[in-house]
Structure 1
Amino acid sequence: MELQLMNERRHNKIYNDESYTYKIFNIDYDKKDVFQEAFITSKVEELDAHAPLIDSVYKKDRQWCIKFDLIKGESLFSLINNNPENIKEYINKLVTIQTSIHTNFCTAIPRQKAKLQYGIKNSGLDESTQFDLLEMLDSSPKHKKLCHGNLTPHNIIISGDDYCVLDWNHASQGNASADIARTYIWFKINMPEYAELYLDSFCNMTGTTKRYVNQWLPIVATARIYKDNPEEFDILKSMIKVNEY
């Protein structure tokens, strides 16, 4: 059966046929990361988080693949680009989905604090800055909410009144505002004209102060530096400088 390319990313490509969706990873993608994503997704499947349903994990032509039940619809990213006049509606939709995810708990997946600590320690920033950020992280509220870890408009597929949330490989249990900070950073880098609209929507919907979310920015931005994406570095570094720690 012929596969139709649906999306192409840095580490994988997404294909559909008439019955299934396939996430096919690059040849050099680490096996353990494939199984980590499959494991986390399988645990989130049990929750009310609209995760895709895994059918199987296998290797073909030296490439690992996660096979899902068919995922239909259009990405929120595509909807925003094609219908910018509806941006407030789409941003509110994203925040509604994200806050709904945060109502879940999943003790089987990694802890957000440990992931952030690892990112900070391997960020390459000077030891004094790392120490301050680790102290700041250690003193933050200890929450255990389900956090997606990379909830961008690319990872939300809309189909009528239904939706599916993709790419759970960065998911963790932790603080919802840190998860919001990660999405805000994505907007600042990729769709800066909508970043404040997104943050305003979250704060208005949840009664959270901007100041509280902003306190997470230097922590999350530093952990993101560890990913070593050169095009992001200047923006991430500016977020660390702006905040007092």
Structure 2
Amino acid sequence: MKQMTGKKVGEGGCSEVFEWGGEQQIVKMAKANTNVDAVKREFSNSMLVWEKGLPSPRPYEFLEIDGRPSIVMERIQGESLMEHFFRYLMQAPSDNAPSDDETIKITARLLSETHRIDNLPLPPQRDMMIHAIRSASYLTESEKAQVIEHLQGLPLKKQVCHGDPNPGNIMVRGDQAVFIDWMNASTGNPEADLAEYIIMIRYAILPPHTPSSAADRFDLLREYIIEVFCEEYRRLSGVNSLDEVEDWIMPVAARKLCADAISEEEKTLLLAEIRSRL
């Protein structure tokens, strides 16, 4: 018996999300910019991390609906960290440190938990990054070669990495949080995930409908947010220093030039960051 999709409950750069068979499941349907191999990879990645007990929704099946590759998965009843984050930004400005640092710490906690697992049969992080960098039309061939040479010289690790730890990919349910969207998951260096978060906070362009008060507050707090995030990650992971993360800023910024979900303005900022380091 063919099931029908219910109402639309979410949308991202690569997919639309609909109710599926009641309130306990959703179906994530790919947009035209996402091919069947990418969705199959996301399903496989999601199954691996869920079976390992990482904070993620349970995937049920891969299927095609009206020619669109799709994944049926557990529905997380809650709200995104993005919603939490915007409430954080809407707080009245103060000369004191912000009171709701818990919102910032959630991502650090999820990443520290994810990075404790190693050697899952996920795609190799470095191969994925090199492919993305070579596809970055904003860079010259010489610049791509320099970034890739730098990347190849970095130590190689084999820990589970999420690949896209932005607030829209985290759902909060009570006092628990889970990562969604494991399409870019890989086995590699945790420093790449940390660099991804730092770059996102430092250079993100907020949506045009964002209230000016929130945008101004975000600009004032960018480096503070990074500091709180890094300190919480250090505390939970037990590492003494995050100095290695600096080496990953350039290759991660180069990889992000391929992303559909970020603006041209943000890509211009990333390009300037890359070229300042070459």
Same topology, TM > 0.5 = yes
Contact 1:57 1:66 in 2 (8 A): yes
Deviates more, 1:35-44 or 1:129-138: 129-138
Q: Which runs of 4+ in 1 moved over 6 A?
A: none
1:126-177 CA distances to partner (integer Å, 9 max, x unpaired)? 2332232222111211111111000111111111122221000001111111
Partner Cα separation in structure 2 for residue 143 and residue 30 of structure 1? 29
3-state SS, counterpart of residue 3 of structure 1: strand
The correspondence for 1:156, drawn from 166, 170, 193, is: 170
Deviations 1:185-222 (A, max 9, x none): 22221456354234313432315656432221111111
Correspondent of 2:151 among 112, 125, 137: 137
Partner of 2:101: 88
Name the TM-score, length of structure 1 as normaliser: 0.89
State the Cα distance separating 1:29 from its structure 2 match.
Answer: 3.4
The question of whether the paired residues in 1 share the 8 Å contact of 2:104 and 2:229 is answered with no
Q: Distance in 2 between matches of 1:165 and 1:210?
A: 22
* 1:169-188 equivalence runs, <5 A: 169-187=183-201, 188=203
Equivalent position amino acid for 2:49 in 1: V
Any conservation in 2 of the 1:112–1:175 contact (CA below 8 Å)?
yes
Of 67, 90, 113, 1:62 maps to: 67
For 2:112, the aligned partner's letter is T
User: Which residue of 2 is the match for residue 227 of structure 1?
Assistant: 259
Cα gap change, 1:87/1:226 in structure 2, threshold over 3 Å: closer, same or farther? same
Matched, 1:196 2:229: no
Measure, in 2, the Cα distance between the counterparts of 1:174 and 1:198: 25
Residue identity (%): 24
> 2: CA distance between counterparts of 1:177 and 1:219?
11
CA, structure 1 residues 28+138, in 2 after alignment: closer, same or farther (shift >3 Å)?
A: closer
- Contact 1:103/1:145 (<8 A) preserved: yes
Aligned residues: 244
Question: What's the RMSD between the two structures over aligned residues?
Answer: 2.3
Runs of at least 5 residues in structure 2 that lack an aligned partner in the other structure: 92-98, 207-217
Give the equivalent residue in structure 2 for 1:119: 132
Q: Distance in 1 between matches of 2:108 and 2:204?
A: 18
